[in-house]
A and B are shown apart, each in its own frame.
Chain A
Amino acid sequence: MTLPDSAIKHLELKANEIRQDIIKMLLEAGSGHSAGPLGMADILTALYFHILHHNPHNPDLADRDRLVLSNGHICPVLYTTLAHSGYFPVSELKTLRKLGTRLQGHPHRGSLPGLETTSGPLGSGLSQSCGMAYVAKMDQKTWRVICLMSDGEQEAGNTWEAVMFAGKNKLDNLVGVIDRNNIQIDGFTEDIMPLEPLKDKYESFNWHVVDIDGHNFQSIHDAFDLAKTIHSKPTLILAHTTPGKGVSFMENKYEWHGKAPNKQEAEEALTQLRHIEEAIRHA
């Protein structure tokens, strides 16, 4: 299905608003991760405002799709998207990482409505997603499990144990998404621990793989739609993204993996994002 221009524009504006809020919350927190959250803002927006079956007013909805964030450090984008979809007040975003907050530095299940699991330590989200998807099949449920992962955590052995399990058990109700942004903490992934050919690797484990531009809402929509038609295999969406997307001095810089902007940097980032916002409005 081709999305109408108006729908795409709506999603682009929402993602832009979320990016601006990510910058504001990180400035307020004084620590946290910038690059990954900005890079994944489009996919999270597409999921919560277009793709997922969920209800912000009933986070425990029995047949909701389960969104598992395996790379918990990008939680600023998840928190912001959850707030904008109505799970909790947007004003609470400014409590990120502060004593007593529901917005823990890494997501804690039970702290905040809408979190399916605790994460931060990399590499175990896909296993948990497999467990959920396996039960959905056992109990003949129709909900899907979407597992967001980073490329860095493709280096973890645990990830591949889950990849094998999902392939063996034909978990076609499971969609994995890799934030293929090519950065991790110590440098570029291909220098730290080469991952390519990632697509071939997943395919050889009985997964269906789609490569997409992770900033193109039509492609994101198509990929999740396609996943519904793939039978007897889990689907992997290899989402090529730009870490730090929308903020020129953060884009593709691994130095921005785990750093929050200072006041001046945040102002510059917001100026740039507002320019993008204007461009979307007038397109």
Chain B
Amino acid sequence: MLNDQAHLNPKLFDDDIEQVPSRNGYGEGLVLAADANDQVVALCADLTESTRTEEFAKKYPNRFIEIGVAEQNLAAVASGMAAAGKVPFITSYAVFSPGRNWEQIRTTVCYNNQPVKIIGSHAGISVGPDGATHQALEDLAIMRALPNMVVVCPCDSIEAKKATVAIAKNSKPSYLRLSRSDVPVITTESTSFEIGKAEVFYEGKDVAIIACGQMVYRALLVAKELKEHGISIRVINNHTIKPLDQKTILKAAEETRAVVTVEEHQIHGGLGAAVAELISQNFPVPIKIIGIEDRFGESGEPEELLEKFGLTTENIKKAVLQVLRMKEK
């Protein structure tokens, strides 16, 4: 059953639920963060409008820096600005930042421990027609592997806004993963958000589905549908991939003893891997990881691609039944 305390969108299960790309929430959040702290600056690599950094650039032209098509420079200049006291947000598509500039992020941001905020828009297969070169499916893995890095993947635009405001204040290197295409708005302004704190959106005891990004919505649809078939599912919105909310996840493992993870990312190295590492070392239970099965994406419409690459409610249901069978053995 839905967790009332999560204050989710009352239209959650309606067909006409509002859909907004999570990058829009970032754009709003950045302006809020900048209003609150005059040390916030933003740097962009020739993608100001599509990463939604434009509102900030208009409101604070003196705090906006255009870097051009130069993502390595983007990360390292930001590190220097952080060293000189600023809170820099750097924005591009996730394949380019943190894709192309990974080592600059590793050394100049993480090893230096500078509070640079890396905003990777256009992550996931739902980027659509641009095709595989522009669909970041490995970004969680490469960011999660870095010491000092905080990794957040919001489930909708409202959460993206809150996450933006939160990482502006956390004094740490941080990565925020965003979507290009429309995503159902499942939370409300009243839904609580805290970095490192996973939220139970749907209460249940038979199986736990741990998801991030727009997959949380699909997990909720599955929970509602299977409830009618007598299967009680707990849905956890795990927006922070690092640091992982060990308490909430291990509690779910102990109480349900069957876990499914869902993410719009390679099955290797992302949310599923993080959860499996935690569970297998502390409280081993059957687990199924749903994501992109070790391959590149392709051109197509977002919905067609989510379907083709198996990020569907059908597949989530199948995995739920599988882990249920595994735990019964």
Q: A: which residues have CB within 8 A of B?
A: 29-32, 72, 97-101, 103-106, 108, 118-123, 152-153, 155-157, 184-186, 192-193
A106 near B46: Cβ-Cβ < 8 Å: no
* Known contacts A31-B129, A105-B134, A153-B69; 14 further A-B pairs (Cβ under 8 A): A72-B133, A99-B299, A99-B300, A99-B305, A100-B300, A104-B299, A105-B131, A106-B130, A106-B131, A106-B132, A108-B132, A156-B70, A157-B73, A193-B66
- Number of A-B residue pairs having CB atoms within 8 Å of each other in the complex: 92
Query: What CA separation (Å) do A52 and B279 show in the bound complex?
Result: 59
B69 near A106: Cβ-Cβ < 8 Å: no
Q: Which of A29, A119, A153, A192 contacts B129 (CB 8 A)?
A: A29
Closest chain-A Cβ to B3's Cβ sits at a distance in Å of: 37
A selection of 8 A-B contacts at a CB cut-off of 8 Å is A32-B129, A105-B134, A106-B134, A152-B46, A153-B69, A184-B69, A185-B48, A186-B46
Q: Which of A108, A121, A184 contacts B96 (CB 8 A)?
A: A121
Residue from B46, B73, B96 having most chain A Cβ neighbours under 10 A: B46
Query: What CA separation (Å) do A261 and B291 show in the bound complex?
Result: 35
Closest to B129 in A: A97
B66 near A186: Cβ-Cβ < 8 Å: yes
List, in ascending order, chain A residues with CB within 8 A of B300's CB: 97-100
Query: What CA separation (Å) do A146 and B46 show in the bound complex?
Result: 26
B305 near A186: Cβ-Cβ < 8 Å: no
Closest to A194 in B: B68
Secondary structure call for the A interface: loop
Closest chain-A Cβ to B65's Cβ sits at a distance in Å of: 11
Q: Report if B100 contacts A (CB, 8 A).
A: yes
Closest chain-A Cβ to B11's Cβ sits at a distance in Å of: 28
A119 near B133: Cβ-Cβ < 8 Å: yes
Closest chain-B Cβ to A106's Cβ sits at a distance in Å of: 4
Closest to B47 in A: A185
Query: What CA separation (Å) do A192 and B64 show in the bound complex?
Result: 12
Closest chain-A Cβ to B103's Cβ sits at a distance in Å of: 12
Which residues of B (71-96) have their CB < 8 Å from a CB of A?
72-73, 95-96
Query: What CA separation (Å) do A31 and B96 show in the bound complex?
Result: 21
Closest to A103 in B: B299
Q: Report if B301 contacts A (CB, 8 A).
A: yes
List, in ascending order, chain A residues with CB within 8 A of B66's CB: 186, 192-193
A97 near B69: Cβ-Cβ < 8 Å: no
List, in ascending order, chain A residues with CB within 8 A of B128's CB: 31
B69 near A123: Cβ-Cβ < 8 Å: yes
Query: What CA separation (Å) do A184 and B69 show in the bound complex?
Result: 9
